[in-house]
Chains A and B, each alone.
Chain A
């Protein structure tokens, strides 16, 4: 396959986010968008064109963005508060905690361009801490879709969910990984491949890489189970513990720091209930060097090759 054909099969999930939001807004006038001067980067220009009054721009003011969204929810609307993930979650973390999660305000927090998506713009613009920060906040689902179809599902789920949620919308182009007809249920992981040798638990942009890893492992006779965990919170305990029982170990992969995200969640769960071999792939507790996203993912070992290597390592050290 040519590079051009491959590129054409990769998608930026923001389009699915924006199109789904517009479709929902046509049917439900409670849906409004709130942004911090990020009409362009949140891909909300079409929304604004169709619903000019329902596009609230608070300017460059993330604390205000989240507080205003909580107020809109108090008034009976369903606000999608959208901003670049590092600023939404970092600058407004206390608003997310107090005004949204603790107050149980029906706000959908939409973190755009998360993880290492901003590449060369550097660590100020990377959002690798968001999963750790928001996992620490009670009563707030943390949702990371893996492709356009799942992004659309996540947006619909969030709009229908009676409480708050955080959606982490991938920007780094990804291939389709979600089978048509796949369900999207609160706190449920989606098993993408069967296999009882080893498990790869991945989220967001890492899911397609986990599938590539499973394919190459399969060629070596290693059957890998791939779980797509869109709900980092609440985590699918059954799926994780079953994998810990049925396979020889678990590799986790996420475009986020390993201090408190998906890998940490899986580790906490398995360590207490079903200890197993674990390899946690993500960004270590360090600020990234200069480089584009592709380079940085390679630099931090977030590729199909690295995932496969971690799985082989588990197989080599298996005691059962």
Chain B
């Protein structure tokens, strides 16, 4: 009787434990593809490391020799793990100006707005000078 009930779609949905293999497929595929794409591009890690180092050099001096860059599996999620010993952070004068701002986001929004206002103002001025 029980098995007969379980064969009916509604009872099956109510009582059977949900067998989910879809998320397993998704997660396993994703991490397999990280490996695949890396194998296909053997220089990927080297190029990635070079570009990250170039970017970091605007802010700090890193110990490149002792740096570690690798892809690791963290609970089924591929993670880029970067460990960079910092020798020193650059002095005020050498850092990008934005790095000294109190809050970057608001400033840049304001800057953009100002830019737009300025441009508008300029064009208006231009038009008025034309009419004159």
Partners in one complex: no
